């Protein structure tokens, strides 16, 4: 798939800030992540291996996974920690 084809699959919200770092730890641009997905990185682990995005603190894992999901990759629930519900006050 080309980068243009991948971009066409994204909702407008995810097309914003393409030339800004998605991963601030490793200064990986959002467009670099999209290009990796377009070239076959269809899991979070593959994107990490190709771009180093989400390889620092991991704070951008959800954003990277959202791009993978939108473009048509594999969703890996085990790679992204789920939020723990707060205890209800009595």
- Residue 55 lies inside a defined structural domain of this protein: yes
In a domain, 69, yes or no: yes
Q: Where are the alpha helices (DSSP H) in 1-90?
A: 3-9, 30-38, 44-51, 61-71
Residue 85 lies in a domain: no
Number of domains in the chain: 1
86 part of a folded domain? no
Q: 49 in a domain, yes or no?
A: yes
**Domain span holding position 15:** 3-77
> C-alpha angle 14/39/36, rounded to 5°?
50
Residue 82 lies in a domain: no
Q: Which residues contact 87 (CB under 8 A, 6 or more apart)?
A: none
Let me know if residue 65 belongs to a domain. Answer: yes
User: What is the per-residue pLDDT across 30-87, written as a single tens digit (0 to 9) for each?
Assistant: 999 999 999 999 999 999 999 999 988 889 999 999 999 999 866 665 555 544 445 5
Question: What dihedral do alpha carbons 71, 63, 75, 81 form, nearest 10°?
Answer: 180
Tens digit of each residue's pLDDT (9 = 90 or more) over 25-35: 999 999 999 99
Q: Give tens-digit pLDDT for 9-18.
A: 999 999 999 9
């Amino acid at each position: 798939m080309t980068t243009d084809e991948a971009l066409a699959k994204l909702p407008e919200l995810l097309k914003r800030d393409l030339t800004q770092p998605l991963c601030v730890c490793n200064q990986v641009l959002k467009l670099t992540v999209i290009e990796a997905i377009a070239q076959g990185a269809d899991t979070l682990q593959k994107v990490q291996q190709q771009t180093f995005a989400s390889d620092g603190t991991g704070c951008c894992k959800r954003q990277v996974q959202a791009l993978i999901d939108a473009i048509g990759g594999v969703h890996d629930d085990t790679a992204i920690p789920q939020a723990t519900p707060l205890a209800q006050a009595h």
